[in-house]
C-alpha cells in the first residue's frame, strides 16, 4: 500500500515488508519515502520508520502549501479491514525538506 504526496507527485510513501533500498526482507512492514526526478524510472528511498516492533500499514499523505505535509498510518496488527488492533500515528514535515 502507498500514497502519493498531492503537492509533490514525484514523492510517494509506501508500506512494505521489503526494504526498497537493498531488497532485504524486514521483520515487519515499515514506511518508506521515495522521491523520483525522472518520472519514476528510479527513486531515492529513505525510511520513515525502522526497527518497529509491529507493522506500519496504509500510509496516507495530507499536504498543505508546498512545504508542509502530514504522513499518517496504522501501527499495529490488521488481519482484515474490519479486524485490527492498531493506532493511527504519523509525522508532520514542515519547511523546505521533502
Containing structural domain, residue 57: 2-93
Q: Closest by alpha carbon to 96, among 3, 7, 36, 6?
A: 7
How far apart, in whole angstroms, are the C-alpha atoms of residue 83 and residue 66?
36
Domain count for the chain, please give it: 1
Neighbouring CB atoms inside 10 A of 31's CB total: 26
| Local structure of residue 78 (DSSP, 8 states) | E
pTM for the complete prediction? 0.89
Q: Per the domain annotation, does 71 fall within a domain?
A: yes
Q: Per the domain annotation, does 83 fall within a domain?
A: yes
Per-residue pLDDT of 35-64, as tens digits, reads: 999 998 999 999 999 999 999 999 999 988
**17: Cβ contacts below 8 Å, ≥ 6 apart:** 25, 26, 28, 29, 30
Q: Which three cell numbers stand for residue 58?
A: 496504509
Per-residue pLDDT of 14-42, as tens digits, reads: 999 999 999 999 999 999 999 999 998 99
Q: Per the domain annotation, does 98 fall within a domain?
A: no
- What is residue 37's predicted lDDT score, i.e. its pLDDT? 93
Q: Per the domain annotation, does 19 fall within a domain?
A: yes
98: confidence class by pLDDT, cuts 50, 70, 90: very low
Amino acid at each position: 500500500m502507498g500514497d502519493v504526496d498531492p503537492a509533490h507527485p514525484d514523492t510517494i510513501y509506501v508500506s512494505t515488508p521489503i526494504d526498497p533500498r537493498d531488497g532485504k526482507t524486514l521483520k515487519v512492514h515499515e514506511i518508506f519515502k521515495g522521491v523520483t526526478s525522472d518520472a519514476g524510472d528510479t527513486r531515492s528511498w529513505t525510511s520513515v520508520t525502522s526497527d518497529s516492533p509491529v507493522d506500519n500499514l496504509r500510509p496516507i499523505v495530507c499536504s498543505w502549501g508546498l512545504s508542509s505535509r502530514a504522513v499518517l498510518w496504522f501501527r499495529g496488527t490488521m488481519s482484515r479491514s474490519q479486524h485490527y488492533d492498531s493506532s493511527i500515528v504519523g509525522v508532520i514535515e514542515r519547511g523546505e525538506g521533502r
